[in-house]
Structure 1
Amino acid sequence: MEIKEYTYHLKDIDFIANDVLNYLKDKIILFNGSMGAGKTTFINALLKAMKSNDIASSPTFSIVNEYKLPNDKVYHFDFFRIESLDEAYNFGIEDYLNSNNWLFMEWSERIDELLPNKHQTVTITYFEDNLRNLKLTVY
């Protein structure tokens, strides 16, 4: 397991996203942090670093959003409203997990039993004055 940690202001987010991208070893990334910590904001910076022209928005109600990359796709999940594993199975989570696409997952602890062992975790903590801490854990 490898851990990389950053403390940053929003003006530095593009640099941090580019650096994080260099450490990723798998296409499944779990995003942890409280509501409003900046998970979707960081996902936007990652998309930009990955050369996507799409803008991320929180998929709280749609459960999953799709973003295009030059030669791939990113599926961005928000499991906040998921109340059971059956709901995840009903929208086809197994198909996404078996795809070879990027999977960005917020509130993944709600489907913890379904997650593969091979993933990375980004944990974002918000401090005052728009200062954030990001901890990348690569398994």
Structure 2
Amino acid sequence: MSLELESASVEQTQEIAQQIARLVEPGDVILLNGDLGAGKTHFTQGLAAGLETPTVPTSPTFNIMFVYEGGRLPLYHFDLYRLEDADELEDIDYYGTIEGDGVSVVEWADKFEDAQPDECLAITIRILPDQTRVLSLEPYGGHFEDIVAAIA
């Protein structure tokens, strides 16, 4: 069951993410796709707030990954925008991290579709002409279908 949600503000986008944060478990992966400025990092900030992470995430574009601890679960925030080749995922321990003890959020995940886990929640954020955002949630796997159903 896919789901589309509209968001008229940063706060609404973050509230959607907070709802999802209440339902995630260790090893969960959320893939975020959308144009520059669509709201991927704002979504991640909402997810961190929902996980009760004390630090507000910033875009990891130049660092590739940030780790946020101190909340209900560790949050691993990847930004694959600057990576050129899928081999670089090994260099940053991408596979080991997404199978780990926290929740992984992967911005620009569509750059490396073969690296996406079989079970995940894929979210695409589109910007409408009036600047409203549409978040399209596509669950892969029963656990993520349950998450989408719970927030529908």
Normalising by structure 2, report the TM-score. Answer: 0.80
- CA offsets per residue over residues 80-134 of structure 1, 9 Å max, x none? 1111122111122222133131110011122222221011111111123431111
Q: How many residues align?
A: 138
Paired AA for residue 45 in structure 2: N
Q: Give the aligned CA root-mean-square deviation in angstroms.
A: 1.9
Paired AA for residue 134 in structure 1: L
Which structure has greater strand proportion? 1
Distance verdict in 2 for CA 1:75–1:129, change over 3 Å: same
Normalising by structure 1, report the TM-score. Answer: 0.87
Larger displacement relative to structure 2 (90-99 or 14-23): 14-23
Q: Is the 8 A contact 1:88 1:111 kept in 2?
A: no
> How many Å separate the matches in 1 of 2:13 and 2:31?
18
Corresponding position of 2:136: 135
> How many Å separate the matches in 2 of 1:94 and 1:15?
28
The reply on whether 1:16 has 2:16 as its aligned counterpart is yes
SS in 2 for 1:125: strand
Percent identity between the two aligned chains: 28
Distance verdict in 2 for CA 1:23–1:135, change over 3 Å: farther
Q: Is the 8 A contact 2:28 2:98 kept in 1?
A: no
Corresponding position of 2:95: 94
Q: Which runs of 5+ in 2 are unaligned?
A: 141-152
Paired AA for residue 20 in structure 2: V
> How many Å separate the matches in 2 of 1:24 and 1:90?
26
> How many Å separate the matches in 1 of 2:16 and 2:71?
21
Distance verdict in 2 for CA 1:4–1:21, change over 3 Å: farther
Paired AA for residue 6 in structure 1: L
